[in-house]
Amino acid sequence: MTRSSQPIGRKPLASLLLLPLALGGCEPGLLNPAGPVAAGERTILINSLAIMLAIVVPTILATIAFAWWFRAGNTRARYRPDFTYSGQLELLVWSVPLLVVIFLAGIAWIGSHDLDPPRPLASKIKGMEVDVVSLDWKWLFVYPGQGVASVNRLVIPAGTPVTFRVTSGTVMNSFFIPRLGSQIYAMAGMETKVNLMADRPGRFRGLSAHYSGEGFANMGFAVFAVPPAQFAGWVARAKAAGPVLDGAAYGKLSNADGNIAPFTYRAVGPRFFEAAVARSVAPPKTVVDGREQRKDVR
């Protein structure tokens, strides 16, 4: 068989057959939650969809039914060219959308308060704090209670509420772990808070949901939710090796290439996050005409 006489369509067909396998490797998001915040957000999405379908589905069915009933060949259909008003019909037309708006508003009102990012999560387990600093183009995670820090890797104990204090050392970013819940913006000179919790061990994807420049593709990080004993072991290993995170180390990290492998700092200077928010630690520098100049991060 010559090349020109080979049957066509095999490669597209093979691609379609392999598509489900490719989709199976996609990272699950809010519809597969691993924490109470993401689970609450999924409930809001599903409830909102169900309420809106209560209008959408009957409207589609009514459109099909009206088109079928008032077809040209149906002699039983009444033709009423002089019809202008019906109070009952007006009540039906306006009451159903009004009820939908009320239900959606109620869901949004209750959900926005129950899942407010700064609101602490209810738990019998004592929470912990992690400070987050977004840089070009990397993430710095500081554990003030443990005295260590890590870059591009977030390790948290499963089942423990975590309060994230978030800021930016450069431009605006967005701290987001889809399977755990709400995103929160990271802005220079400002502090925002979000409370999240992983209800089971696992590895999750973290990312920036806000475009921040040419290295934006590197603004991802790995999140490891581990049992508390394993988290304590990770902290012990981090304290045993690595540099100290002070002003000089922060300046070096800020100017480093964004595509760097995760590593840890064995110790953190006092009130480091507060200094980062106040921008009293050295901001990133660039070299112009052989001279170092500080970036404008306002």
Q: Which residues of 195-231 are buried (b: 16+ CB within 10 A; e: fewer)?
A: bbbbbeeeebebbbebebeeebebbebebbbbeeeeb
pLDDT tens, position by position, 201-238? 999 999 998 888 888 888 899 999 999 999 999 999 99
Same domain, 52 and 159: no
154 and 67 housed in the same domain? no
Asked if residue 28 is part of any domain, the answer here is no
Burial of 250 by CB count in 10 Å (0-12 exposed, 13-18 middle, 19+ buried)?
A: buried
Structural domain contains residue 291: no
Cα–Cα dist 134/170, whole Å: 7
**214 inside domain:** yes
**CA pair distance 30, 287, nearest whole angstrom:** 42
In a domain, 13, yes or no: no
Give CA separation, 224 vs 89, 157, 158, 221, 239, in Å. 57, 8, 9, 10, 18
Shared-domain flag, residues 64 and 87: yes
Do 236 and 259 fall into the same domain? Answer: yes
Binned average pLDDT, 10 residues per bin, the chain of 298 residues:
46 50 53 90 90 90 92 86 84 87 89 88 92 94 95 96 95 94 91 95 93 87 96 96 91 86 92 86 47 41
The span from the CA of 191 to the CA of 143, in Å, is 16
**Residues in a beta bridge with 225:** 156, 202
Residue 290 lies in a domain: no
Same domain, yes or no: 277 and 237: yes
**14 occurs within a structural domain:** no
Domain that holds residue 148: 128-284
Closest CA to 164 of 192, 130, 137, 202: 130
pLDDT confidence of residue 282: 55
Q: Which two tokens stand for residue 270?
A: 């006092």
All residues at 6 or more sequence positions from 143 whose CB lies less than 8 Å from its CB, including other chains: 128, 129, 130, 131, 149, 150, 235, 268
Judgement on whether residues 172 and 270 belong to the same structural domain of the protein: yes
Amino acid symbol at 115: L
106 and 210 assigned to the same domain: no
150 and 242 housed in the same domain? yes
Count of domains for the chain: 2
Same domain, 146 and 270: yes
Q: How many CA atoms lie within 13 A of 6 on its CB side?
A: 7
Long-range contacts of 124-128 (CB under 8 A, 24+ apart): 125/159, 125/160, 125/161, 126/160, 127/160, 127/161, 127/162, 127/163, 127/195, 128/156, 128/157, 128/160, 128/161, 128/162, 128/163
Residues 106, 174 within the same domain: no
Helices 87-114 and 36-69 cross at an angle (nearest 10°) of 170
Q: Is residue 158 part of a domain?
A: yes
Query: What is the per-residue pLDDT for 281?
Result: 65
Instruction: Give the single-character DSSP code of 236.
Output: H
Q: Is 242 left (phi over 0), alpha (psi -120 to 50) or beta?
A: left
Q: Is residue 121 part of a domain?
A: no
pLDDT, residue 1, reads 45
Instruction: Indicate if 44 and 96 belong to the same structural domain.
Output: yes
CATH of the domain at 204: 2.60.40.420
Q: Are residues 106 and 173 in the same domain?
A: no
**How far from the centroid of its chain's Cα atoms is residue 143's Cα?**
21
CATH number at residue 59: 1.10.287.90
Tokens found for residue 65 = 């039914």
